A = this chain, B = another copy of it.
């Protein structure tokens, strides 16, 4: 099967029939009062012109943000259909006694203004946990958000979900299913409290591909395992993580309702979008200066490979060494060694690779002589790959993370103010 994608612009508006809008309503402090907040938009709306099949994945944290509960309930009521999503940043609306009421109110405001049913509106929030969400600014903003909805306004939405993110995160691809052109586009926000065992922080993906709600959910749940669930910024699993995937069918391909080539093509395209968003999230981790990618090769099974790769990108000590551009490979082997998987540590090889070259640092579980100068050169790159070879089988997996820096501490030492 030949996979042929074209990367395109447009984020969540790349696919046919999706409009967006975003604005500043006053939940965030004004941008010039808060230098860590790079964009002032704090609320956005996006819609599908026709009801879209919608799949979702939620955090596995026991503490679940009120917006997740309301979104889940609305999808149940609507039979996994949605027309609109409203999302705010700077306040997670989580651990508040009136959280569900406020989240429901957000859906109701959009539904009333658009003249649609409340259960067709989904809601997401990201930001500080446990602060009461001010509803007045949202009530004041919704009419304007609805009025200014447009097909090209993906950027307004993509910046409105940013918290400590330094760059907006959008990715979209175009591909063909049976001669019909389809598109998948998405946007995501990071950049702290990100860890495996979840979806990840807010991710919204839209497609015009025609696909049943069941197959859509199946594709999303599968791809989450090898993308967002292999991402770690700081080991903290957020309370508000959610991925929403909407498919409105406007590309008019034959609806995908079962396994087969069309489904495989769709899934590959979705993986392309989600893997690229995952990489963007990792690279823009709070305070990060470098992307850290670990691929574990030669594992007996994918689970073992994933466990090892995740263990490496989660090591605080290695993350500090990467920041310091120090080829402290012993910390890689240490993290491999405490990964909860079965393999022979005495067969493990490790190399460190970047655009500037590759260097083997460990063979058969023991150090090998290498040039510290060459290692220093390789570590100057802002994208560092660590390859771990278990030499036991044929399976592999990749995990994404970033370095641990002074700025991570700074950002999180005083996040609420």
Interface residues of A (CB under 8 A from B): 60-63, 92, 94-97, 128-132, 192-193, 195, 197, 234-239, 314-317, 320-321, 323-324, 326, 328-331, 333-339, 343, 345, 362, 365-367, 404-406, 408-417
Contact indicator A320/B129 (Cβ below 8 Å): no
* Chain B residues in 8 Å Cβ range of A97: 366-367
A95–B320 CA distance with the chains assembled, in angstroms: 21
From B95, B321, B411, give the contact of A413 (CB < 8 A): B321
How close is A337's CB to chain B, nearest CB, in angstroms? 3
Report yes or no: A326 in contact with B406, Cβ–Cβ below 8 A: no
The distance from the CB of A331 to the nearest CB of chain B, in whole angstroms, is 7
Please, which residues of chain B bring their CB within 8 A of the CB of A235? 235, 314-316
Top 5 A-B residue pairs of the complex, sorted by shortest distance between their CB atoms: A129-B330, A324-B413, A63-B337, A320-B412, A130-B367
A220 to chain B, nearest CB (A): 21
Cβ contact within 8 Å between B96 and A367: yes
- B416 A409 Cβ-Cβ under 8 A: no
Q: How far is the CB of A1 from chain B (nearest CB, A)?
A: 38
Inter-chain CA distance A340–B129, complex, in Å, is 20
Could you name 18 residue pairs across A and B whose Cβ atoms are closer than 8 Å? A61-B334, A62-B345, A128-B328, A128-B330, A129-B330, A129-B334, A130-B330, A130-B362, A197-B338, A235-B315, A237-B338, A316-B412, A321-B415, A324-B413, A326-B414, A404-B412, A405-B409, A406-B409
Give Cα distance in the complex from A235 to B338, angstroms.
10
Query: CA–CA, A129 to B331, complex, Å?
Result: 7
Is A316 a contact partner of B236 (Cβ separation < 8 A)? yes
Contact of A321 among B328, B330, B336, B412 (CB under 8 A): B412
Max count, chain B CB within 10 A of own CB: residue among A63, A92, A238, A330:
A330
Chain B residues positioned under 8 Å from A326 (CB to CB): 413-417
CB distance from A61 to the nearest CB of B (A): 4
